[in-house]
Structure 1
Amino acid sequence: MILHEIETVNREEIEKLQLERLRTTVERVFNNVPFYQEKLVERNVTPSSIKGLEDIAKLPFTKKQDLRNHYPFGLFAVDRKEIVRIHGSSGTSGKPTVVAYTRNDIKNWSEIIARAIVIAGGRPGEVLHNAYGYGLFTGGLGLHYGSEILGMCTVPISGGNTDRQITLIEDFEPTVICCTPSYVLNIAEHMEDLGKDPRKSSLKYGIFGAEPWSEEMRKTIEEKLAIKACDIYGLSEVMGPGVSVECHQEQNGLHVAEDHFLVEVIDPETLEAVPDGEDGELVFTSLTKEAFPVIRYRTGDIASINREKCKCGRTTLRMSRVKGRLDDMIIIRGVNVFPSEIEHFLLTVKELAPHYQVHLIKKGSMDAIELNVEITDAMYKQISGDMNHEKVHQLTNMIHHIMKNSCLVSMDIKIHQPKSIKRSEGKAVRVIDKRNTSLKV
């Protein structure tokens, strides 16, 4: 099912539309946002300077700190009377980032999400169980409005209260569930604790995002719930969820809504574009946003792009799944490691449950990693609950060897009994910095 013809047009038509909308966006920010006007004047760039898509390189980058510096309304491009909704970040690391939407922005976003749900397997007339958090976080309301526009029966349960989640899945029989990948594992695990088989639910598709997750995590989710698990990507600074999404047919790269977003991949050090297929930092320019347009927003997310046609029939450019974030990257003794890389190798160990935490610690004057994992119920029964069992020591050595060889970092391995690591009802806390402060990544 293709919801919009733009998803299947040739690249020439896509790029023609993008150029037209890029010019409009540059004109909008030049005339209405002093921050951008100043930056463009500094570069001797005007809206008429944009002759082709390659001229995107003439435009300035935008960073999250720019949003904080102009908190709360300094980057809005419309009169506040035209704004119908505001979203924002939690502000845990300082001032929150605040974004705004006009009525037309909400309409566009809803249609983008409707397309994303179809791409991931949802269909009109079915039931969608939305366990993303509602409120200032864009996940809950973003998926909600898109689901309704599509014509699905939307269950706005939000996150938490896992017992109730399970009850409503049983009673309302949704075919699609939306939440973070770590939380759907929590739901499946709790079903098993209650003596229920997650594989026998009505669910067929899952739309998971808001945190990086590996292919091994996908396999675990799909096996536990007998569903197709698709990745969705977005960030509030650009729009919210729906910027890109995986198709359920191929599950190999996320289709970008190119009629609304122009994507680049750059080397985060040189700020130059990298070739298609090469990892770099994702940069997005909004093409239709009215209230809060962004120019070349540096996401901090690491991924690549390719322009090959997908077997689902869509011609839109695809981005790879996010490998990690620049600010999530752990640097230990000169070696760079992403939590998703650790997850990738951990989930190949059948004795381990798909829950872990990375603690950054000090060993003398040196930085070190303490990797906390837990064994499965089956393993726990096999050793009769004896965490000093020889098999636990063997498993510890095996994990240490895997991490050393695969991630090139020696880690202290701490193995815990089942259900010892705190479960997530939203975004999972994977990394805890215990070196100085309790910085959570």
Structure 2
Amino acid sequence: MPIYDIDFETMPREGLESIQLRRLQTTIERVYATVPFYKKSFDKAGLKPEDIQSLDDLRRIPFTVKQDLRDNYPYDMFAVPMEQVVRIHASSGTTGKPTVVGYTKRDINTWAELMARSLSAAGATPGDIIHNAFGYGLFTGGLGAHYGAEKLGASVIPVSGGNTKRQITIMKDFKPTILCGTPSYILHLAEVAEEMGVDFHDLAFKSGIFGAEPWTENMRAELEAKLDLKAIDIYGLSEVIGPGVSIECYEEQRGLHVFEDHFIVEVIDPDTLEPVPHGQKGELVFTSITKEAFPVIRYRTKDITSLNPAPCTCGRTHIRMDKPSGRTDDMLIIRGVNVFPSQIESVLMETKQILPHYQLEVDRKENLDTLTVKVEIDEELFSDDIKGLQAMETKISKDIKEYLGVSARVLLVEPKTIQRSQGKAVRVIDKRVI
């Protein structure tokens, strides 16, 4: 597949790191002068901008966490006056104050460029039609993909989430070739299409770009089989820029290429806060080095992954990150065992009759944690064979215990029992009073 920006995306390591250092130093000087939070953070650590003389010096800088953004709500983390801010996005704020991010005109252009690179890496060309089912509005997904498609020169259909039956009709009539959305909503689209008698194998899609929530290799196999396309994982978060921080390439689908000319990536041990070697899992940390309105320095994402510096057959030289396996704040501790929803999903998807819709319920009874896994099963198998269903529940429960070391009650439920989402799936319901 052609590379959108071949000069930067295939740059030798020495040249790339030279650009990173220069951009990092410029960013540090600017935030120290314009963002009181960063000046205070640097001063407390006994650092001045001129102390950053190499990329290794980055580890001397204190981390930034989401609570810092909330403490400076709404605009105190901005590094430019509001008259230079042309766009504002924000998180939902479901767990506290929303995190608010801003963009200058140049930031919007940078973001569009990164998303054009991302779409190109996923196999998109100016001749493609992109069905964009990411949500529009304060969520960055929809507009990020939209501007990237226009920058690439492709045609974009801004359908957003919802109106699912209408989306299926548009897919038939408009013949889009690239599909964008959250994997859980895309699977819901596939369900509705089947109800309408529409086979994705008869549609024109060649690849799908799915993100905004963790999804496993088993989920990839499910998506590719149901949708007859190549499923590409994209990564981003609003605090860093939005989608377009990294993406898998069409050629390998083995790790997401981080666009290192715009972001410096680290992986740290979340307990010791020290960097870990390449290949070892830890918490993902990003420093933005080209953002104007809302740069972040050593931002702890809570996402768990590892880094791979090995060359890729696609020709890109930027480091790759593995698919995030979960988040430190999504991690469940069940009777002392650390469990991520994605690990449960991997076990569930090993059973062929299981549908890719599940929910974890955590409760506490008599001071002991309990885990219930509700998962939908194929309608043809959901019958009056109670003993057969019970045997399957027992087997899955045994597999979860064997692979993850945690006891779980498994409940097989009828199709469409678990509520669908037009955006990110709600995987965990924690009923414990802590």
TM-based fold match above 0.5: yes
Q: Secondary structure at the match of 2:86?
A: strand
- Residue type at the aligned position of 1:101: Y
Q: Secondary structure at the match of 2:347?
A: helix
**Using the alignment, how far apart are the partners of 2:56 and 2:303 within structure 1?**
22
Does residue 413 (structure 1) correspond to residue 410 (structure 2)? The answer is yes
1:189, distance to aligned residue in structure 2 (A): 1.2
Structure 2 counterpart of 1:378: 380
Does residue 304 (structure 1) correspond to residue 301 (structure 2)? The answer is no
- Residue type at the aligned position of 1:2: I
Structure 1 counterpart of 2:118: 116
Structure 2 counterpart of 1:368: 370
Does residue 244 (structure 1) correspond to residue 246 (structure 2)? The answer is yes
**Using the alignment, how far apart are the partners of 1:155 and 1:268 within structure 2?**
40
Structure 2 counterpart of 1:235: 237
**Using the alignment, how far apart are the partners of 1:105 and 1:62 within structure 2?**
20
Structure 2 counterpart of 1:404: 401
Structure 2 counterpart of 1:172: 174
Q: 1:342 aligns with which of 344, 352, 360?
A: 344
**Using the alignment, how far apart are the partners of 1:173 and 1:97 within structure 2?**
37
Does residue 436 (structure 1) correspond to residue 413 (structure 2)? The answer is no
Unpaired runs of at least 5, structure 1:
none
**Using the alignment, how far apart are the partners of 2:206 and 2:112 within structure 1?**
22
1:43, distance to aligned residue in structure 2 (A): 1.8
Does residue 278 (structure 1) correspond to residue 248 (structure 2)? The answer is no
Structure 1 counterpart of 2:4: 3
**Using the alignment, how far apart are the partners of 2:162 and 2:153 within structure 1?**
25
1:161, distance to aligned residue in structure 2 (A): 1.1
Structure 1 counterpart of 2:421: 424
**Using the alignment, how far apart are the partners of 1:115 and 1:180 within structure 2?**
19
**Using the alignment, how far apart are the partners of 1:320 and 1:58 within structure 2?**
25
Q: How does 1:38-49 map to 2 (within 5 A)?
A: 38-49=40-51
Q: 1:87 aligns with which of 86, 89, 95?
A: 89
**Using the alignment, how far apart are the partners of 1:235 and 1:364 within structure 2?**
39
Structure 1 counterpart of 2:25: 23
Determine what percentage of the aligned residue pairs are the same residue.
55
- Residue type at the aligned position of 1:204: K
Does residue 140 (structure 1) correspond to residue 142 (structure 2)? The answer is yes
Q: Secondary structure at the match of 2:142?
A: helix
- Residue type at the aligned position of 1:159: G
- Residue type at the aligned position of 1:436: V
**Using the alignment, how far apart are the partners of 1:325 and 1:365 within structure 2?**
25
Q: Deviations over 1:211-249 (max 9, x none)?
A: 000000000000001100010000000100000000011
**Using the alignment, how far apart are the partners of 1:34 and 1:75 within structure 2?**
8
**Using the alignment, how far apart are the partners of 2:323 and 2:410 within structure 1?**
28
Q: Secondary structure at the match of 1:94?
A: coil
**Using the alignment, how far apart are the partners of 2:201 and 2:338 within structure 1?**
37
TM-score by length of 1: 0.97
Q: Secondary structure at the match of 1:436?
A: coil
Q: How does 1:304-323 map to 2 (within 5 A)?
A: 304-323=306-325
TM-score by length of 2: 0.98
**Using the alignment, how far apart are the partners of 2:16 and 2:379 within structure 1?**
51
**Using the alignment, how far apart are the partners of 2:13 and 2:202 within structure 1?**
42
Unpaired runs of at least 5, structure 2:
none
Structure 1 counterpart of 2:155: 153
1:323, distance to aligned residue in structure 2 (A): 0.5
Q: Secondary structure at the match of 1:263?
A: strand
- Residue type at the aligned position of 1:422: Q
1:47, distance to aligned residue in structure 2 (A): 1.7
**Using the alignment, how far apart are the partners of 2:404 and 2:231 within structure 1?**
26
1:436, distance to aligned residue in structure 2 (A): 3.5
Q: Secondary structure at the match of 2:126?
A: coil
**Using the alignment, how far apart are the partners of 2:41 and 2:197 within structure 1?**
60
Q: Secondary structure at the match of 1:378?
A: coil
1:418, distance to aligned residue in structure 2 (A): 1.8
**Using the alignment, how far apart are the partners of 2:168 and 2:306 within structure 1?**
36
Q: Secondary structure at the match of 1:285?
A: strand
**Using the alignment, how far apart are the partners of 1:294 and 1:276 within structure 2?**
23
Structure 1 counterpart of 2:55: 53
Q: 2:37 aligns with which of 23, 35, 38?
A: 35
**Using the alignment, how far apart are the partners of 2:386 and 2:300 within structure 1?**
49
Q: Deviations over 1:271-329 (max 9, x none)?
A: 00000000000000000000001100000000000111101111111000001000100
Q: Select between 364-373 and 109-118 the one with higher mean Cα deviation.
A: 364-373
Does residue 395 (structure 1) correspond to residue 392 (structure 2)? The answer is yes
**Using the alignment, how far apart are the partners of 1:417 and 1:47 within structure 2?**
59
Does residue 184 (structure 1) correspond to residue 181 (structure 2)? The answer is no
**Using the alignment, how far apart are the partners of 1:245 and 1:157 within structure 2?**
22
**Using the alignment, how far apart are the partners of 1:85 and 1:100 within structure 2?**
6
Q: Secondary structure at the match of 1:379?
A: coil
Q: Deviations over 1:323-348 (max 9, x none)?
A: 10001001011100100000011011
Q: Select between 38-47 and 99-108 the one with higher mean Cα deviation.
A: 38-47
**Using the alignment, how far apart are the partners of 2:398 and 2:95 within structure 1?**
35
How many aligned residue pairs are there? 432
1:415, distance to aligned residue in structure 2 (A): 1.0
Structure 2 counterpart of 1:65: 67
Task: Give 4+ residue runs of structure 1 displaced > 4 Å after superposition.
Answer: none
